[in-house]
Every structure is written in C-alpha cells, then in structure tokens.
Amino acid sequence: MPLTRTPTKTTSRPAAHAPAGDTLLRADHVQLGYWTPRGFNLAVGDASFEVAPREKVIVIGPSGCGKSTLLKAIAGFITPTGGTISVSGRTSLEPGPDRAVVFQEFDQLFPWRTVLDNVAYPLRVNGRSRRDALARAQEYVELAGLAHAADRYPHQLSGGMKQRVAIARALALEPAILLMDEPFGSLDAITRQRLQAELNRIVDQTHVTLLFVTHSIEEALVLGDRVVVLGNSPSNVIEIVDVRDLGGPETVEYGQMRGHLRDLLAVDKPIADDEEEEVLDGDGS
Ligand SMILES: Nc1ncnc2c1ncn2[C@@H]1O[C@H](COP(=O)(O)OP(=O)(O)OP(=O)(O)O)[C@@H](O)[C@H]1O
Ligand SMILES: [Mg+2]
C-alpha cells in the first residue's frame, strides 16, 4: 500500500497505513479507563492503529491523554474495557517477554545487581542457563555501549547510562515489540539527543519493532516511521502520519511535518482556544 507522506492541513481521521504485510500489533477501537472512588474514569475513548513488523511507531499526545495507559494495556498490565488489542494474532495478553517495556524512571533497575546481572536476570527468569544468560547479556550490554561499565552497580551510573541498561535488558529478551514510555523524558537535552541516535542505531541493528510514547514532536520525528496522534482525554486517534524519509530538521518536508503535528496537537485543545478568545475579548473591551 502506498504511504502518504505529504503533510496536509486537514484534520481528517487517521490516514497513514502500516506497510502491507503481516500486522504485528493491532489496536482495534480500544477503550481504557480506571475505576476511582468517584466512578469510572475513561482515559482512552477509542484508539485504533496497527504496527507492522520492524516498524517504528510513535504515540504522541498531550499529557494525561492516556499514552501510558495504552502502552500498559499492550504490555498486558491492564485490560481494555472495550475493543481489542492483538499482538502476533493473540488477544489474551498477559505480561510477557515478547513485549518488553522501558519506562521513564531511572529506578527501574535492580540496585543490588551489576549492569551485566541486571540484563541477565530476566533471561534467567525466562529459563536460560546462567552461562547462556550471561553470554547474551554481555552481547546486549556491548550493543548499548556499556561494555566498560558491565560490573558497575546502578548507583554508579548516570541517568543516561541507566536508561541504556534498561534498553539492553529489554532487547536481550529479543521481544516481538519493544515498548518504550518516554524513556528519555528525564534526561538533559544533549544526553537525550545522543540516546535518540543510539536507539536508532540499535533498532536498525536488531530490527526490533518499536512502539515509543512521547509528548515531544522532535523526538517523534527523529525516531519514528509513523506517528499516531492522540487527542485530549478521553482520547481518540486524531491522525496517523508517515514521517519516514523526511530528511533532517533542515529540510522543508521536516519543517512542514513539524508544523502539521504542532497544529494537530493544538487543534484539539478547546480550552486553549477559549482562553485565547477570552484574551481577545479582554483586549477588545
Ligand atoms: N492507576 C490509575 N488510577 C486512576 N486513574 C489513572 C491511573 N493511571 C492513570 N490514570 C488517569 O488516566 C488518565 C491517563 O493517564 P496516562 O498516565 O495514561 O496519561 P499520559 O498520556 O501517559 O500522560 P503523561 O504525558 O503526563 O505521561 C489520566 O487522567 C490519569 O489521571
Ligand atoms: Mg505517561
């Protein structure tokens, strides 16, 4: 199926399709929410999208729109209240090593284990021999550029290094899909850029399928093949855009797409519009 690449100013429904071929992940009219003492709180109203094998799909949307909730449902931590999520054709999704998750927080490592053991431990839990687990862990620690720090403990690492360990640990499981929830959100701008480039390299080398949550348009453009744009909570998919082959930030296409995504994310903010009207009214009186 041809890919739509040209940014348009329309706010029409989801457009860019996953490349033809098997679908690895399919979210079909997914609805997600939480029971609170005051009743059911709907977070994701209706989300549908697909991810093809080896694709890099970014989920972007305003804070609180349900990005993490969606990722947790794909990981199998919570169950949709409506619609279905299927991964490799399966809809009954218990958490499992086929959907490894990397979170934003730096404290997702075991503090009492070395870098190498942090990466090896889930392999042991999933049935590999100690020798096998350590050999594979070493491989992924090297892939993440951490060979020199393999024997260090988490408290001896920078934030960026901790996130590299988390990425190595997730990839060592050789998941069908790598789920990442704002993994670089707590890093300084320079480290963040460096890790984005590193992630691109690692994903290209391992051919892992990526579903990456962010609220950064720049990050979406640097990392993604396609971007699923969610609106305010209870969210639905406003549009799906293809962002591969845009070239670097200096190209016209990149600038247009950045503008388009900014428009999309702003369009769905009626409160901001009201505020603007109020300001204008105030100015006019
Ligand atoms: N465990 C929970 N119990 C009740 N409500 C929750 C829970 N987790 C999230 N929510 C609510 O669900 C909505 C979506 O939250 P979620 O964390 O998925 O948003 P998000 O898009 O990831 O936001 P951010 O960009 O700030 O990380 C929010 O209104 C949030 O308050
Ligand atoms: Mg979140």
pLDDT tens column, 24-78: 999 999 999 999 999 999 999 999 999 999 999 999 999 999 999 999 999 999 9
Ligand nearest to the CA of 41: 1
Do the domain assignments include residue 220?
Answer: yes
Ligand nearest to the CA of 43: 1
| 178 Cβ closer than 6 Å to some ligand 1 atom | no
> Residue 152: is its pLDDT beyond 60?
yes
Determine the distance separating the centroid of ligand 2 and the alpha carbon of 64, expressed in angstroms. 7
Question: Diameter of the chain by CA atoms?
Answer: 76
Task: Pick the more confident residue, 87 or 11.
Answer: 87
Ligand nearest to the CA of 37: 1
Dump pLDDT digits (tens) for 69-120.
999 999 999 999 999 999 999 998 899 999 999 999 989 999 999 999 999 9
Do the domain assignments include residue 163?
Answer: no
| Atom of ligand 1 at shortest range from CA of 41 | 5
Closest CA to 166 of 198, 188, 209: 198
Task: Pick the more confident residue, 5 or 218.
Answer: 218
Angstrom distance (rounded) from CA 83 to CA 145: 40
Determine the distance separating the centroid of ligand 1 and the alpha carbon of 123, expressed in angstroms. 30
Q: What is the pLDDT of residue 176?
A: 94
Do the domain assignments include residue 89?
Answer: yes
Q: Determine contact, residues 209/177, Cβ cutoff 8 Å.
A: yes
Comparing 61-75, 210-224, 267-281, the range with the smallest average pLDDT is 267-281
Angstrom distance (rounded) from CA 277 to CA 271: 10
Distance, CA of 162 to chain centre: 18
Do the domain assignments include residue 40?
Answer: yes
Dump pLDDT digits (tens) for 153-164.
999 999 999 999
Task: Indicate which CATH number applies to the domain containing 262.
Answer: 3.40.50.300
> Residue 9: is its pLDDT beyond 90?
no
Buried b (16+ CB within 10 A) or exposed e, 140-169: bbebbbbeebbeebbeebeebbbbbbbbbb
Angstrom distance (rounded) from CA 152 to CA 126: 24
Task: Pick the more confident residue, 226 or 272.
Answer: 226
Determine the distance separating the centroid of ligand 2 and the alpha carbon of 70, expressed in angstroms. 9
Q: At 282, is the pLDDT very low, low, confident or very high (cuts 50, 70, 90)?
A: very low
DSSP per residue, the chain: -PPP-S--S---S--PPPPSS--SEEEEEEEEEEEETTEEEEEEEEEEEEE-TT-EEEEE--TTSSHHHHHHHHHTSS--SEEEEEETTB------TTEEEE-S-GGGS-TTS-HHHHHHHHHHHTT--HHHHHHHHHHHHHHTT-GGGTT--GGGS-HHHHHHHHHHHHHHT--SEEEEESTTTTS-HHHHHHHHHHHHHHHHHHT-EEEEEES-HHHHHHH-SEEEEE-SSSEEEEEEEE-TT--STTSHHHHHHHHHHHHHHHHT-HHHHHHHHHHHHHHH-
Do the domain assignments include residue 8?
Answer: no
Dump pLDDT digits (tens) for 248-261.
899 999 999 999 99
Buried b (16+ CB within 10 A) or exposed e, 224-238: bbbbbbbbbbbbbbb
Q: Which domain holds residue 219?
A: 25-98+175-284
| Atom of ligand 1 at shortest range from CA of 66 | 18
| Atom of ligand 1 at shortest range from CA of 63 | 25
**Residue with CA closest to ligand 1 atom 2:** 34
| Atom of ligand 1 at shortest range from CA of 33 | 12
Sequence-separated (6 or more) residues with CB below 8 Å from residue 180: 101, 102, 167, 210, 211, 212, 213
Task: Name the amino acid, one letter, at 222.
Answer: V
Do the domain assignments include residue 104?
Answer: no
Determine the distance separating the centroid of ligand 2 and the alpha carbon of 62, expressed in angstroms. 9
| 259 Cβ closer than 6 Å to some ligand 1 atom | no
Q: What is the pLDDT of residue 283?
A: 33
| Average pLDDT, rounded, for the chain | 88
Sequence-separated (6 or more) residues with CB below 8 Å from residue 13: 237, 238, 239
Determine the distance separating the centroid of ligand 1 and the alpha carbon of 63, expressed in angstroms. 8
Q: Determine contact, residues 30/84, Cβ cutoff 8 Å.
A: yes
Do the domain assignments include residue 66?
Answer: yes
Q: How many domains does the chain have?
A: 1
**Residue with CA closest to ligand 1 atom 28:** 64
Do the domain assignments include residue 274?
Answer: yes
Mean pLDDT of 225-232: 97
**Residue with CA closest to ligand 1 atom 18:** 66
| 64 Cβ closer than 6 Å to some ligand 1 atom | yes
